[in-house]
Homo-oligomer: A and B are copies of this chain.
Amino acid sequence: MARYKAVIAYDGTNYCGFQTQENGKTVQSELEKTLTKFNNGIHVPIQGSGRTDSGVHAEGQVIHFDMPNERDEEKLRHAFDTQSPADIAVKSVEMVDDEFHARYLAKGKTYHFYVDTKRPRSPFTRYYAAFFPYDLDIKKMQEAAKLLLGTHDFSGFCATGTEIEDKVRTVYQADVEEIEPGRLRFSFSGNGFLYKMVRIMVGTLLKIGNDRMEVENISKILETKDRNLAGPTAHPEGLYLMEVRYE
C-alpha cells in the first residue's frame, strides 16, 4: 500500500460542496471516480482536510488516499489532473508516510474572501466574489479584524447545526485590503475554523465597515458567544480555501 497526499484546486460553482453527500455532485465524488478508474474499478476513498460548502472554491485543498502500489508521483498527478473534470485541478501529488492524515494532522488553514464593491456587478466575477456595492470604511474593518486575533471561543461566529463541541480556535491573521479599486480581499489564518466561521466573520466585518455596527461589537460577540449579535453569513462565492498546513 502507498499513501498519497495531493493538493487540489477547484471552482466550486457547479458542486454541492467538497464532501460526498446523498444528493448532488461533489468534488470528492468526482475525484474518487477518477482514482477508482486508475484502480481497475476498485473504489478508492479520499479524505479531505475538511469540507467546503456549495459554491465555495479552493486553491489549496489537501486530500489523502491509498493505492495498492507505488506509482510515479508526476505521472499520477498528470493522469489524476487530466482525467478529472476541468473545474478541478490536481496541483501536486506526493507519496507520504502511512501515518499522514489530511484531516487529523492539519495544523492550520488559510482562507481568502473576495468582495467586489463596484457597480455594476462584473460579469466575470459573479461566481468568484461576493457583491457588496455599498459604502465601506476599510480602516474600521481592519481595526475590527484585529479583535478576532488570538485564542477565543468562536461560538458566536459559528453556524448552528455543527456537532463539534469545542469551539475554541486560534486566529493568527485577520486582514482586509483593497487589492484594486472596487475589490477587497479578506485573509484569515488560524489553527482551524468552525462551520461557516469565515463567512460569518466577513459578514460581520462588512456590517461594521458599512457603519451599521460598532467595532467593539466583535469583542461582545466573542464574550457572549451569541450568534445573533454577529452579522449575516457572507455569500459562498467569495470564499477560497487557500492553504492547509501540516507539521
Contacts and interface: CB of A to CB of B under 8 A. Distances in A.
Interface of A: 9-11, 57, 81, 86-91, 120-124, 126, 128
Contacts of A87: 123, 126
B10 A89 contact: no
8 contacts: A81-B120, A86-B121, A87-B123, A88-B123, A89-B120, A89-B121, A89-B122, A124-B128
Among A81, A123, A124, the one with the most B-chain Cβ atoms within 10 Å of its Cβ is: A123
Nearest to A12: B123
- Copies of this chain, complex-wide, total 2
A123 B30 CA distance: 14
Contact of A126 (B86, B120, B126): B86
B9 A90 contact: no
Given A11-B123, A81-B120, A87-B126, 15 more contacts: A9-B120, A9-B122, A9-B123, A9-B124, A10-B123, A11-B124, A57-B124, A86-B121, A87-B123, A88-B123, A89-B120, A89-B121, A89-B122, A89-B123, A91-B120
Contacts of A81: 120
A126 B10 CA distance: 11
A237 to B, nearest CB: 12
Contacts of A123: 9-11, 86-89
A81 B121 CA distance: 9
A131 to B, nearest CB: 10
Contacts of A11: 123-124
Contacts of A124: 9, 11, 57, 128
Contacts of A120: 9, 81, 89-91
A133 to B, nearest CB: 11
Contacts of A122: 9, 89
A119 to B, nearest CB: 8
Contacts of A126: 86-87
Nearest to A121: B89
A142 to B, nearest CB: 25
A89 B123 CA distance: 6
Leading 8 A-B pairs by shortest Cβ distance: A11-B123, A89-B120, A87-B123, A81-B120, A89-B123, A10-B123, A86-B126, A11-B124
